[in-house]
Structure 1
């Protein structure tokens, strides 16, 4: 074997591990656990099936969570007696698709969709015993349910019967019959629906948009028994009194947006504007008996990228405008792939009072973040925190009596499944974000950090990868601030024009104020395997393509980092090329004086499944340090920092037998990633080491595309 392991020490400043070290009396939410929905599957079930956590509710004692899992057609249950260690209670199979859930007594009140078609919608309201999973009652609803709310005194349930449209017909617009409506049904002291009390409340003829076809989306009930209903596609709000009559109704209105990105072009350009964007609210929640908040996701014509507080008479009390979206931009959670649609797409809203502070929690479906607002003054909410909420947050439940907030995330990706995440409100500093551009002279959008190098005076330089292929950028990060701050964005140019066709994965200092950037090739997209010499002003002064001997055996998983050692640039190649032995990859060498190429072999760990490769290289003292990782998430086996002594870096000519270096494993990153409270992310890609040995590590958030968008940026010591 050509490697050995040396002793590890704990992280110096892992934010999640030091969240409670803040100023005395400071209260913040921090994530303490996540629960994978596949954990509720029975032994022997196919865990590769799609699962989801969408709408979520909690029992009165706050010890059990119940969520809807539409793909499986089940209710999932979680024991959170110890919220830091949630335990599976199993799934309850239903006779259709669960769309929403509330809890009354020991019963889960579930809306179940059984529709045969868009034109023949059907569904029922079921009371499911949470303890044993048995169905205690069922009421036919006469249509497709989409949202359920339980009155605060437990006396009745309200159900939005959406009877949703077919988006493939009529340009996907309302109206399409049959029309939706609202249902109220009384609940017994045991939490059972009394089907004989079912009241159908018509909502037709109210909206300016397709008044014949209201599509109720979301309902909530205040302490007076009044029901607020959002008609998303109709851009309308309705308030129904306790007696079932319509008290007020009004258009949700429109906003003008400045400084937004409306083009999906692989760049973050917040220079566009839109006028008269209709809000088209999705979720709605009462703040008190007179005010409610809406998440303005949009559907047919709108989506104002923000959220609004209304008085129940229709007066707009507060409009967030672009402020919520801009806050997400600053922490790297802007979803560029949704620029042409609805940006960060606020979809969910929760309200609760923690201590003496009334709060609104605004969930961004595409940004995968929840904003925590202090609404002591509902006319001037204050954004207090932004929490990493998992991929595609759909529902929230606040448990102030236990100082908990819970998010249900409906989306998984190729690695993690859908998750339920738990946050605790406690004394201590906020652990997220760990990197932000807040406070910069201009708005700086960022993401997909893929390589780093340490400069001087606490400055780290970082590059983004091909996700932003139209905007290759070198970011200046001030690590002396907490959280670390992106203070500048240097756009790379070629002959004075914005550079393109680059996949920057590594960066090194040239010693004269400029940089060497390693670009991972993708020949089918015209991206060259190369090293680019970039001036301090961002201009590409020289491009050094890989030699013919490498191009003859190349694969797309190539350059993942570059380091300068004396007169030689060393490039870490992620995985094997055609001529490499199994579990060995190349460290390529390019001599700046002679122009000669060479290489050595680096021994990788063997992958139990998936693959293992290199994702960074940087030089410090008499070693080069590398990140070696697998492509796994919570089942990760290899996420580590290794090093190779410089005296071993004697390259052999390309095409000859290459010497195999001996590596030392100096730090295991998996415990740090687990300490973030969520699932282990796969892409640890940035490593920067200062002269005094201070070491920073970062993760690549994939541009928030099918990703939770989380960027972890923390220090380690070895």
Structure 2
């Protein structure tokens, strides 16, 4: 196996820890596996917590896993489910097969949980309003899953921590603000009542006897000193609690034995370079942000002298990283733009959040795994967990990333079981499900990412996401080509070197109309004025610099050089809510991405355009073969268009789709096709369902060598992809959209992550064997 350049650098700089990925502490972060097996984390299971309602998750009820902890024996997870007002229990005695154990209703909104011996301490928000907050600490017996007592907290809890010696618990009482007042600006309008910290003495055997003390935090922060809003708390082995006052941009240290503030200081600010601050459907990491307040959210001690803050940063564009402080309030390390570059390098950057908080670090956790002191940082919007070695707090060493279900919030290190657990709270059936993610630590190669990008000349990574179609190079069995779909403007073609693990996305080509080919497209078709492209529509496809805004869904390498790109049309004829804005077309480019030809459908089909149009494209024996995603014009099945390049004429056959099998309904369509070189093709067929609702992700083979025009072809199942997709330990992605066969017969598939929009952003590029094995 060939090593990529970042792994080579890692071997030179850090021969003792060879884990997944490494960035050598600069602003570029990459990853790579090698033939030397070393300890790393691998995702082994993802449990959607909707299974607590229905074993098959056949429910529209919103669920979530927000904060998670584990029983002392390491066998049972306890997580908070705020939408349902419950805590859930999961058996992880077999980490690869986590099993639901049921839920417990708490009569309010559970916001946090921490384990103390046989009990789970759950912060429950029972507030009537922002101005009349209330809450309690529910003490839950883990074995019987029942409440043994409750302690009044006097306000709205947001975080619970238990000291390592289990002598104390600390609860951050946020008493959160009404964000509709002055846009939530705490500096403009402090909102009473103030938050505080509750210290619980847990030494008595009977929780009903546990006394509580309140720690006043007013007058500490320079920002809204009358309105402290404690967000998160963690406790070191000296029984010193560190508390983040996120909105106040302040950090407070509390001695729990005396329930007194021992020190406090501002979290300060950061200045960032080479970040994206504009939401323009292009990832462009060329901007700067100056003096952005950190506004830390989650916090974790890494030793008794240092702690780490996850800097979510609500103000002025977001702070976008994490910081290591010492107990004197000094910054000993700040990550700068590293997480922004990392997420862009791995296809997880949320461009739609560029004007806000970017990747949005949410939480941090520390665990000592043997000799390795490891830090975990959750990126909420990118749904990644970054892992660092913090042997030297002044120079943490990036190791690897872990993919998570959407919106990772809670994170729990379980060194005793060589496990890590992450709770993901985002849930909306059809796009993502709240879930518990389980990772195992062992001597093994990391399995994620599947793709990482190389650097541009300015040192920033080639940003990518929303990969759609896939194609094999005609002569190089180690190269694939892909494209990005309409999630982004200024459409691009990408080259992937698959000789490395992960694959290296090392080439990007902007598709351009510098020869005016697209601009000269005839205007004829099905709009109200009988013009398929009026001036406005055509102008919207071509930018001032001649780059183009297509919807590339399929790609094929042309035998005459360059590429064929299948661009899906936008809009449906006769649908006022989805007017036709562009037609389906196959665009020919040269090897540099310059458009040299455009092929459109006959007007008879343009006149009945449905928005589910061109998907895959392949070339064979002087003809183009184009898959329509779904059937048009009330036809029973979708078409496969066959375009004769010499005669410049179309013919069509019909493809028999599988019937819908998902318990959630939906539809079934085509995603890609690729030639096998003998008149037969592999076809990728999928439903529009995700995770536990997914039923159809399949590869079929069809023979078009002697197919009659307008006939319905027959198909042979070659591969059910769901076992391949679940083998990654994650939830099945909805949009399995790319299929390619290399020159040596290897079969590859990939998914479209929707540009990290209502999506976890996970990119899978799977080698599923050789055509001889299908």
TM range (shorter): over 0.9
Alignment partner of 2:724: what SS? helix
Matching residue of 1:96: 108
Q: CA offset at residue 417 of structure 1? A: 2.0
Structure 1 segment 684-695 matched on structure 2, within 5 A = 684-695=736-747
* Aligned counterparts of 2:113 and 2:181: Cα–Cα separation in 1: 29
Relative to structure 1, the CA distance from residue 194 to residue 704 in structure 2 (aligned partners, 3 Å threshold; closer, same or farther) is: farther
TM score, norm. by length of structure 2: 0.87
Pick from 458, 462, 483 the counterpart of residue 482 of structure 2: 462
CA contact (8 A) 1:76 1:92 kept: yes
Q: CA offset at residue 302 of structure 1? A: 5.5
RMSD over aligned CA atoms reads 1.9
Pick from 629, 643, 660 the counterpart of residue 686 of structure 2: 629
Alignment partner of 2:47: what SS? strand
Pick from 507, 516, 526 the counterpart of residue 488 of structure 1: 507
Matching residue of 1:638: 696
Alignment partner of 2:705: what SS? helix
Q: CA offset at residue 190 of structure 1? A: 4.0
Alignment partner of 1:401: what SS? helix
Matching residue of 1:521: 569
* Aligned counterparts of 1:587 and 1:198: Cα–Cα separation in 2: 71
Q: CA offset at residue 228 of structure 1? A: 0.3
* Aligned counterparts of 1:43 and 1:193: Cα–Cα separation in 2: 36
* Aligned counterparts of 2:143 and 2:311: Cα–Cα separation in 1: 36
CA contact (8 A) 2:455 2:462 kept: no
* Aligned counterparts of 2:108 and 2:343: Cα–Cα separation in 1: 36
Q: CA offset at residue 31 of structure 1? A: 0.5
* Aligned counterparts of 2:556 and 2:271: Cα–Cα separation in 1: 43
Alignment partner of 2:659: what SS? coil
Matching residue of 2:676: 620
Relative to structure 1, the CA distance from residue 42 to residue 697 in structure 2 (aligned partners, 3 Å threshold; closer, same or farther) is: closer
Structure 1 segment 289-688 matched on structure 2, within 5 A = 289-301=304-316, 303-415=318-430, 416-438=432-454, 442=459, 443-455=461-473, 456-457=475-476, 458-468=478-488, 470-495=489-514, 497-523=545-571, 524=579, 526-581=581-636, 584-608=637-661, 609-622=665-678, 623-633=680-690, 634-650=692-708, 652=709, 658-688=710-740
The C-alpha deviation readout for 1:555-607, integer Å capped at 9, x for no partner, is 111111111122211110011111412xx210012222222111101111111
Matching residue of 1:254: 269
Pick from 193, 201, 208 the counterpart of residue 186 of structure 1: 201
Matching residue of 2:250: 236
Relative to structure 1, the CA distance from residue 284 to residue 235 in structure 2 (aligned partners, 3 Å threshold; closer, same or farther) is: same
Moved more, 174-183 or 440-449: 440-449
* Aligned counterparts of 1:310 and 1:643: Cα–Cα separation in 2: 58
Q: CA offset at residue 542 of structure 1? A: 2.3
Relative to structure 1, the CA distance from residue 169 to residue 236 in structure 2 (aligned partners, 3 Å threshold; closer, same or farther) is: same
Structure 1 residue runs of 5 or longer lacking an equivalent are: 1-14, 16-20, 653-657
The C-alpha deviation readout for 1:279-306, integer Å capped at 9, x for no partner, is 1000000011110000001124453111
* Aligned counterparts of 1:620 and 1:46: Cα–Cα separation in 2: 39
Moved more, 600-609 or 57-66: 600-609
* Aligned counterparts of 1:45 and 1:486: Cα–Cα separation in 2: 36
* Aligned counterparts of 2:418 and 2:206: Cα–Cα separation in 1: 25
The C-alpha deviation readout for 1:5-56, integer Å capped at 9, x for no partner, is xxxxxxxxxx9xxxxx964551110011111111122789983110000010
* Aligned counterparts of 1:223 and 1:659: Cα–Cα separation in 2: 74
CA contact (8 A) 1:281 1:303 kept: no
CA contact (8 A) 2:50 2:57 kept: no
Pick from 220, 225, 236 the counterpart of residue 211 of structure 1: 225
CA contact (8 A) 1:185 1:194 kept: no
Pick from 87, 91, 101 the counterpart of residue 75 of structure 1: 87
Relative to structure 1, the CA distance from residue 231 to residue 69 in structure 2 (aligned partners, 3 Å threshold; closer, same or farther) is: same
CA contact (8 A) 1:396 1:406 kept: yes
Matching residue of 2:284: 269
* Aligned counterparts of 1:401 and 1:259: Cα–Cα separation in 2: 40
* Aligned counterparts of 1:238 and 1:115: Cα–Cα separation in 2: 25
* Aligned counterparts of 1:474 and 1:189: Cα–Cα separation in 2: 65
* Aligned counterparts of 1:685 and 1:607: Cα–Cα separation in 2: 18
* Aligned counterparts of 1:591 and 1:296: Cα–Cα separation in 2: 57
Moved more, 113-122 or 691-700: 691-700
CA contact (8 A) 1:260 1:270 kept: yes
Relative to structure 1, the CA distance from residue 38 to residue 570 in structure 2 (aligned partners, 3 Å threshold; closer, same or farther) is: same
The C-alpha deviation readout for 1:472-519, integer Å capped at 9, x for no partner, is 110010011111100111111123724344110001122232111101
Q: CA offset at residue 687 of structure 1? A: 1.1
CA contact (8 A) 1:493 1:538 kept: yes
Matching residue of 1:704: 756
The C-alpha deviation readout for 1:359-412, integer Å capped at 9, x for no partner, is 100000000000010001111111101000110000011100100000000012
* Aligned counterparts of 2:481 and 2:591: Cα–Cα separation in 1: 12
Matching residue of 1:38: 50
Matching residue of 1:198: 212
* Aligned counterparts of 1:341 and 1:123: Cα–Cα separation in 2: 31
CA contact (8 A) 1:317 1:378 kept: yes
Q: Which has the higher contact order (CA 8 A, sep 6+)?
A: 1
Q: CA offset at residue 624 of structure 1? A: 1.8
